[in-house]
């Protein structure tokens, strides 16, 4: 009976990702949505415009929706340019228009917008709504969507100076990111390793001899013009960066002298002339200005004045080297990086401080950046432009797919971009930290983002290297840290007692604490700057984590396991043979220790040119593990000791079960460190994947009522949780008996 019960529960938890797109799948979530009463509008036979649109909007319809004006089509699209959209928020940011729009799908399609950008966003929304609708037919359900961004700049950055992303890949990414209202591509074109922008006057810059990575690969001016035009038609602004005067070794190899010389200054102005002529739609040129002292007289004013004369604006990194940036410095916008980057009064500032995704793990950092607000604010203003997710490739990765997978680019960018679109966030990441709440609104909101992202992973993003899988249902208990006297193998109470409600050691009582997610930072990469599970942990200690996994049958699964996430901009040493990390972390499944893989770089003296191998799970096949029918114990021992050869001190663990290919989370299983025993015997009510879950109500008759008091369902729990699946979202009352009730809001 118990086994059959858990098989039923596991079956109920299986979530299909093959259904057609609906309003509930939109990413980012629109600000206001009202479902309509008309039949779905069919796009299968094309569209016709009530009035021919301008060339840019017509291109957007063709690029994003694959639709052109067809005079015989039955579906009419009407576009109205208006002075404002009622209720929409906007603020001034030079080079960025008002993006608000209203999309009405009734007998036809009507788009009201203030600008072309607003119209293009409506097209992006239509693009998602029409995706895979009802067996593949391109139809859009009736609705009225009124939408606008909280932050006007929502972007991503590729460091192609240190790497190389093929031109066709860049174009594909523009088209894909545009679907999700990402509106800025920061194109970091020059670095110490290579100069990737073709300069007609100075061909030596892009010669193979001047490059130390991907020698001879660069972007021609013709390609850059094409990319600029494509991005413009898709609603994306490109910000090209020519880094100066630092990060310029490639320049010096090609030209034979430094930028901060009279000859170098002349050449920089000529280079900027060509950049401005190629990126005609770019309102800004980024000049870097970080990490190298500016010593040449009037360097900044000379460069900024020249760019202004080209009718472009100037962006610099913030902080810049030996330069106090003010609103009178000649700079038009700053990009804040690291904790040292502070908002400059009187200028728009881009928040990139904790959004270097080359340092992110796949799971915990993503959830944290989604939960975080943007530089302590719920929405942008004249001094807070938005955010950019940056990928720095100091460490060599051989392929663009490797860069995208190891940095989890699609998931990270789209999590950050949704936060920038919808606004809000309870706290900035340096206050809210990286620990996922175990229940409540923040967890529910993240779970909803995850559901929508995974829908798109299986549809428009299905061909992309995306390592992210569902994690919001993964639950742990963590206990410690116990002192280990510097010995990672020290035998401590959990080693002999296994999972327990409490431990006593050295006169101290240790009680396990719950955690949620496929990865948990016990100490974050940035230490006390970003709160993690333990506050200020000391080396010479050991923690333990465990969960039970219920499997409805004997089966083989994949396991994504990681104890040290290797940043893609570091030269940290690989773990020794037979070990998961350089601290001695260990993991068991049902009492059998899981063996670490054979590492590519064990024993190698690592430099930035040493290819990053299989250190991260994103670069290797999942570990195949055998689950038995019923409960399976996952148990981890997590020493925290000094790890020579590792600069970034990440004390963490990652574990989640997937299919054997690692593409999707394993369906039909339950993670429960207490095997669904609720804490202190108090029933727990929460939502999960569109269902209402009641845990810890064994023996009770639990009834579910809608907000009008109508009985929806009634179940009696004999063992494990109860799952209620109402047909509609809304507010419900859970009657637990003995006059105990809980109100819960169910979303889809």
Tens-digit pLDDT profile for residues 400-453: 999 999 999 999 999 999 999 999 999 999 999 999 999 999 999 999 999 999
Of 639 and 675, which is predicted with more confidence?
Answer: 639
- pLDDT score, position 6: 31
Strands 651-658 and 555-562: antiparallel
- pLDDT score, position 138: 82
- pLDDT score, position 739: 67
Of 728 and 687, which is predicted with more confidence?
Answer: 728
* Phi, psi values for residue 274, rounded to 5°: -70, -40
* Tokens standing for residue 146: 């009124």
Average pLDDT over residues 95-117: 98
3-state secondary structure of 407: coil
Say what percent of the chain tops pLDDT 70: 94
Of 630 and 157, which is predicted with more confidence?
Answer: 157
CA 326 to chain centre: 32
What class does CATH assign to 32-147?
alpha beta
pLDDT at 716 over 90: no
Of 3 and 726, which is predicted with more confidence?
Answer: 726
355-435-633 Cα angle (round to 5): 125
Most confidently predicted of 12-16, 514-518, 701-705:
514-518
* Tokens standing for residue 620: 């290797």
Q: Nearest-CA neighbor of 599 among 622, 621, 576, 582? A: 576
pLDDT at 617 over 90: yes
Residue 744's pLDDT band (cuts 50, 70, 90): confident
Residue 676's pLDDT band (cuts 50, 70, 90): low
Residue 718's pLDDT band (cuts 50, 70, 90): low
- pLDDT score, position 174: 98
Strands 651-658 and 519-523: antiparallel
Residues 6+ apart with CB under 8 A from 578: 595, 596
Q: Which residue reads 């006390």 in tokens?
A: 528
pLDDT at 117 over 80: yes
- pLDDT score, position 1: 32
Tens of pLDDT, residue by residue over 219-260, are 999 999 999 999 999 999 999 999 999 999 999 999 999 999
Distance from C-alpha of 287 to C-alpha of 384, rounded to nearest angstrom: 19
pTM: 0.89
Count of other CB atoms within 10 angstroms of residue 689:
19
The answer to whether 468 touches 392, Cβ cutoff 8 Å, is: no
- pLDDT score, position 21: 66
pLDDT at 642 over 50: yes
pLDDT at 14 over 90: no
Average pLDDT over residues 379-394: 98
- pLDDT score, position 20: 57
Of 594 and 134, which is predicted with more confidence?
Answer: 594
pLDDT at 15 over 80: no
Tens of pLDDT, residue by residue over 646-663, are 999 999 999 999 999 999
Sign of the Cα torsion 299, 302, 305, 311 reads negative
Q: Which residue reads 């009834």 in tokens?
A: 703
In CATH terms, 685-746 corresponds, of 2.60.40, 1.10.3470, 1.10.260, 3.30.420, to 2.60.40
What class does CATH assign to 153-426?
alpha beta
pLDDT at 11 over 60: no
- pLDDT score, position 323: 87
- pLDDT score, position 708: 84
Count of other CB atoms within 10 angstroms of residue 727:
6
Say what percent of the chain tops pLDDT 90: 86
Distance from C-alpha of 268 to C-alpha of 265, rounded to nearest angstrom: 5
Distance from C-alpha of 621 to C-alpha of 557, rounded to nearest angstrom: 12
| 315-324, 359-368, 543-552, 738-747, range with the lowest pLDDT | 738-747
Count of other CB atoms within 10 angstroms of residue 122:
25
> What are the sequence ranges of the domains in the chain?
32-147, 153-426, 475-671, 685-746
Tens of pLDDT, residue by residue over 678-715, are 434 457 787 777 788 887 676 788 999 988 889 999 99
Q: Which residue reads 């680019």 in tokens?
A: 409
* Phi, psi values for residue 69, rounded to 5°: -65, 115
Q: Mean pLDDT, the chain, as a whole number? A: 93
- pLDDT score, position 22: 85
Tens of pLDDT, residue by residue over 46-62, are 999 999 999 999 999 99
Q: Nearest-CA neighbor of 307 among 336, 329, 340? A: 329
Asked if the domains 32-147 and 153-426 are classified in one and the same CATH topology, the answer is no
Residues 6+ apart with CB under 8 A from 147: 30, 31, 32, 88, 100, 101, 102, 103, 121, 125
Distance from C-alpha of 206 to C-alpha of 215, rounded to nearest angstrom: 9
3-state secondary structure of 19: coil
Distance from C-alpha of 152 to C-alpha of 90, rounded to nearest angstrom: 8
- pLDDT score, position 727: 87
Distance from C-alpha of 178 to C-alpha of 100, rounded to nearest angstrom: 16
First to last CA, the chain: 31
Distance from C-alpha of 211 to C-alpha of 192, rounded to nearest angstrom: 8
- pLDDT score, position 12: 28
């Amino acid at each position: 009976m118990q086994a059959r019960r858990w098989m039923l529960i596991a079956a109920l938890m299986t979530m299909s990702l093959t259904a057609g797109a609906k309003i509930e799948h939109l990413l980012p979530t629109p600000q206001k949505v009202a479902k309509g009463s008309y039949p779905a509008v069919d796009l299968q036979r094309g569209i016709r415009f009530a009035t021919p649109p301008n060339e840019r909007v017509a291109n957007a319809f063709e690029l994003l929706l694959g639709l052109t004006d067809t005079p015989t089509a039955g579906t009419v699209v009407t576009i109205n340019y208006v002075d404002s959209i009622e209720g929409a928020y906007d603020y001034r940011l030079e080079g960025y228009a008002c993006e608000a729009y209203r999309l009405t799908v009734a007998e036809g399609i009507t788009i009201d917008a203030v600008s072309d950008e607003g119209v293009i966003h409506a097209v992006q929304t239509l693009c998602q709504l029409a995706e895979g609708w009802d067996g593949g037919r391109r139809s859009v359900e009736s609705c009225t969507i009124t939408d606008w961004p909280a932050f006007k700049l929502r972007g991503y950055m590729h460091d192609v100076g240190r790497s190389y992303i093929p031109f066709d890949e860049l174009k594909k990414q523009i088209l894909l990111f545009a679907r999700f209202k990402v509106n800025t591509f920061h194109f970091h074109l020059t670095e110490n390793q290579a100069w990737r922008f073709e300069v007609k006057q100075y061909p030596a810059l892009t010669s193979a001899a001047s490059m130390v990575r991907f020698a001879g690969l660069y972007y021609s001016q013709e390609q850059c013009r094409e990319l600029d035009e494509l991005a413009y038609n898709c609603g994306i602004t490109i910000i090209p960066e020519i880094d100066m005067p630092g990060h310029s070794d490639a320049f010096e190899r090609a030209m034979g002298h430094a930028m901060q010389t009279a000859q170098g200054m002349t050449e920089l102005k000529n280079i900027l002339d060509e950049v401005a002529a190629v990126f005609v739609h770019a309102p800004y040129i980024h000049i870097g200005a970080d990490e190298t002292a500016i010593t040449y007289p009037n360097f900044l004013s000379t460069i900024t004045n020249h760019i202004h004369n080209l009718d472009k604006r100037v962006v610099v990194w913030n902080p810049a080297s030996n330069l106090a940036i003010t609103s009178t410095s000649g700079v038009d916008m700053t990009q804040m990086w690291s904790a040292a980057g502070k908002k400059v009064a009187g200028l728009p500032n881009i928040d990139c401080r904790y959004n270097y995704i080359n340092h992110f793990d796949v799971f915990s950092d993503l959830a944290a950046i989604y939960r975080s607000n943007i530089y302590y604010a719920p929405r942008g203003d004249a001094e807070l432009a938005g955010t950019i997710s940056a990928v720095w490739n100091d460490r060599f990765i051989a392929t663009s797919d490797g860069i995208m997978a190891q940095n989890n680019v699609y998931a990270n960018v789209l999590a950050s971009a949704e936060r920038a679109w919808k606004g809000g966030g309870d706290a900035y990441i340096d206050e809210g930290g990286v620990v996922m709440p175990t229940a409540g609104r923040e967890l529910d909101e993240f779970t909803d983002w995850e559901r929508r992202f995974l829908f798109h992973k299986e549809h428009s993003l299905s061909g992309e290297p995306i390592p992210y899988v569902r994690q919001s249902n993964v639950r742990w208990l963590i206990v410690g840290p116990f002192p280990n006297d510097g010995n990672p193998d020290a035998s401590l109470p959990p080693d002999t007692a296994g999972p327990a409600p409490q431990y006593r050691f050295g006169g101290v009582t240790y009680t396990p604490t719950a955690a949620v997610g496929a990865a948990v930072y016990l100490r974050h990469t940035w230490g006390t700057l970003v709160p993690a599970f333990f506050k200020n942990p000391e080396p010479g200690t050991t923690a333990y984590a465990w969960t039970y996994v219920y499997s409805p049958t004997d089966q083989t699964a994949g396991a994504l396991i990681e104890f040290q996430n290797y940043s893609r901009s570091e030269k940290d040493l690989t773990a020794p043979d037979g070990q998961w990390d350089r601290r001695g972390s260990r993991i068991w499944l049902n009492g059998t220790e899981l063996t670490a893989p054979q590492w590519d770089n064990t024993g190698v003296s690592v430099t930035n040119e040493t290819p990053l191998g299989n250190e991260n799970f994103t670069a290797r096949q999942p570990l195949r593990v055998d689950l038995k029918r019923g409960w399976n114990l996952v148990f981890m021992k997590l020493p925290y000791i000094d790890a020579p050869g590792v600069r970034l001190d990440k004390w963490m663990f990652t574990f989640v079960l997937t299919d054997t290919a690692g593409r999707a989370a394993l369906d039909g299983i339950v993670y429960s460190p207490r095997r669904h025993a609720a804490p202190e015997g108090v029933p727990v009510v929460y939502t999960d994947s569109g269902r209402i879950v009641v845990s810890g109500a064994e023996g009770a008759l639990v009834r579910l009522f809608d907000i009008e008091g109508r009985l929806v369902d009634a179940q009696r729990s004999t063992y494990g949780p109860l799952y209620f699946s109402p047909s509609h979202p809304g507010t419900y009352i859970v009657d637990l008996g003995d006059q105990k009730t809980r109100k819960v809001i169910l979303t889809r």
